[in-house]
A and B are shown apart, each in its own frame.
Chain A
Amino acid sequence: QKEVEQDPGPLSVPEGAIVSLNCTYSNSAFQYFMWYRQYSRKGPELLMYTYSSGNKEDGRFTAQVDKSSKYISLFIRDSQPSDSATYLCAMSVGNAGNMLTFGGGTRLMVKP
């Protein structure tokens, strides 16, 4: 079993829909949680960064962490075709090497 699980998709939604992307993890020591967006043939770019449990909002994006359930989510409101990408979750225990453990990524397609 992988340390971080993420449904690979693809997830196809119409423009304007609310999108929910999720990851589950097994290591209770994870404290820092990130979401990366990766467009085709590009490098991953950091989208959201949260520490411990709770919610964080940035424009149309909301990151949610539930450490008791070992479950993190990324919500995208009013989804746009430009949101079509692969979304990777990543997490860290907060070690000195800043080592990250990644999920496999979920491919999202937003159709006009």
Chain B
Amino acid sequence: DAGITQSPRHKVTETGTPVTLRCHQTENHRYMYWYRQDPGHGLRLIHYSYGVKDTDKGEVSDGYSVSRSKTEDFLLTLESATSSQTSVYFCAISGGPGTDTQYFGPGTRLTVL
């Protein structure tokens, strides 16, 4: 998985609770991304980062926030989890311009009851 770890790998939580997912990379890549994958919707971009403290919204950012205080770590926070946020979350990384590929982590399976 290209030096990418995600934690936790599985989580069950209750509606209304905050949840933080962590992505850690050892590749020193500049760009990091958070996706969610749902049946019928494929991979959808939630947020991405183009450097430390530099983040931007993706296609489905409502209800999510991110932070990146170090090159290697990208955190995704569900401020108040809802059942619609039950999904599989993938982190991805990418190098600079001219390297138009992304490498994915193993995923976090989140269930919101």
- In the assembled complex, B20 has its CB within 8 A of some CB on chain A: no
State in angstroms the CA–CA spacing of A94 and B100 once bound together.
Answer: 6
Among B31, B48, B104, the most chain A Cβ lie within 10 Å of the Cβ of B104
Flag if A97 contacts B48 (CB, 8 Å).
Answer: yes
Give the interface of A toward B (CB within 8 A): 32, 34, 36, 41-46, 49, 88, 90, 92, 94, 96-100, 102-105
15 additional A-B residue pairs with CB within 8 Å, beyond A88-B43, A98-B94: A32-B100, A34-B101, A41-B109, A43-B1, A43-B104, A44-B43, A44-B90, A46-B102, A46-B103, A97-B56, A98-B97, A100-B100, A100-B102, A103-B42, A104-B40
- CB-based nearest A residue for B43: A102
Flag if B97 contacts A96 (CB, 8 Å).
Answer: yes
The number of residues on chain B lying at the interface, defined by a beta carbon within 8 Å of a beta carbon of chain A, is 25
A-chain residues with CB within 8 Å of residue B56 when the two chains form the complex: 97
